[in-house]
Structure 1
Amino acid sequence: MLPDLLNTYLGDALWALMIFLGFAFVFKKMKTMSIALFGVLFCYLIEASQLYHAPWIDALRQTTLGGLILGYGFLWSDLFAYLIGIIVGISIDLYIKKFFLITS
């Protein structure tokens, strides 16, 4: 139902958005841009870890949870999708803070 471009990258963008929102929830006092930086670094490190293949980590990736968290193979395009997800997270966070007059 979705266009191919959106369908291809939506999952990765949503994953990065989830990471951003999780960090924002845990680190409530941290500034939005700091959360964004940590979110991008986390996503990029997970993606870079997909270049590493050892029996123990590949076995972990074969589990449902391990595959969802660690992914399977490195793709440059995923880095862009993560950035889009984080930007959406920044927008949501700033909107909520403005709407509820929350300062950080």
Structure 2
Amino acid sequence: MRAAQPDKPVAPLRTSLIRAALALAVIVCGLSLRWYGFPFGLPAFVVKYGGSLLWATMVFLLAGVLLPQLSRSQLTAIAAIIAVVVEFSRLIHTPWLDAFRLTTAGALLLGRIFSLWNLVAYAMGIAFGVLADRVTTVHGLVGWAKAP
């Protein structure tokens, strides 16, 4: 028989720490995918859209770190708005913005080329973030995997 699950979610500070740890792991995965995906022979589709998916997961988790009092639905809306704004900002071209996009930080944070397919990847990434957040913050990082 399994032990009863806790009724209350983890405390806000612990929730933020868990989300920060998850965000760091997602950032490492995303950078690894972008930097080593092609050398390991991964298809361009996986590298491009996998990176976009992980970027949106990171945005969701970091929103949760900064705003732990908000519900997952509110964090989802914030992450979706950020993703849409960032994607559509790629249609705006000014010398300083284009120069920033040519840097590594600019390419990773804002991207370079507009694509509606990125919005699909972002939606999947945010959904993945919600799932990861639910599993880890409701029961704790280790609590959900404990044996009965």
Please confirm whether the aligned pair reaches a TM-score higher than 0.5, indicating the same fold. Answer: yes
Q: Does 1:89 align with 2:129?
A: yes
SS in 1 for 2:83: helix
Structure possessing the higher relative contact order (Cα contacts under 8 Å, 6 or more residues apart):
1
Q: Does 1:26 align with 2:66?
A: yes
Quote how far apart the aligned CAs of 1:93 are.
Answer: 1.4
TM-score, length of structure 1 as denominator length: 0.87
Quote how far apart the aligned CAs of 1:53 are.
Answer: 0.9
SS in 2 for 1:84: helix
**CA distance in 2: counterparts of 1:55 and 1:8, whole angstroms:** 25
Equivalent residue for 1:78, pick from 94, 118, 121: 118
- The alignment yields a C-alpha RMSD, in angstroms, of 1.7
Show the counterpart of 2:22: none
Q: Which runs of 4+ in 1 moved over 4 A?
A: 1-5
Letter in 2 for 1:50: R
Structure 2: state its 5+ residue gaps: 1-40, 144-148
| Paired residue total | 101
- Distance verdict in 2 for CA 1:66–1:7, change over 3 Å: closer
Q: Which has the higher helix share?
A: 1
Quote how far apart the aligned CAs of 1:3 are.
Answer: 5.6
SS in 2 for 1:57: helix
Equivalent residue for 1:65, pick from 71, 83, 105: 105
Equivalent residue for 1:11, pick from 43, 48, 51: 51
Letter in 2 for 1:35: L
SS in 2 for 1:72: coil
| Identity level (%) | 33
Instruction: Say which one has the larger Rg.
Output: 2
SS in 2 for 1:29: coil
Structure 1: state its 5+ residue gaps: none
Letter in 2 for 1:93: D
Measured against aligned partners, the alpha-carbon deviations of 1:51-84 in whole angstroms (never above 9, x if no partner) come to: 0111121011112212211110100100000000
Letter in 2 for 1:48: F
TM-score, length of structure 2 as denominator length: 0.63
Letter in 1 for 2:102: Q
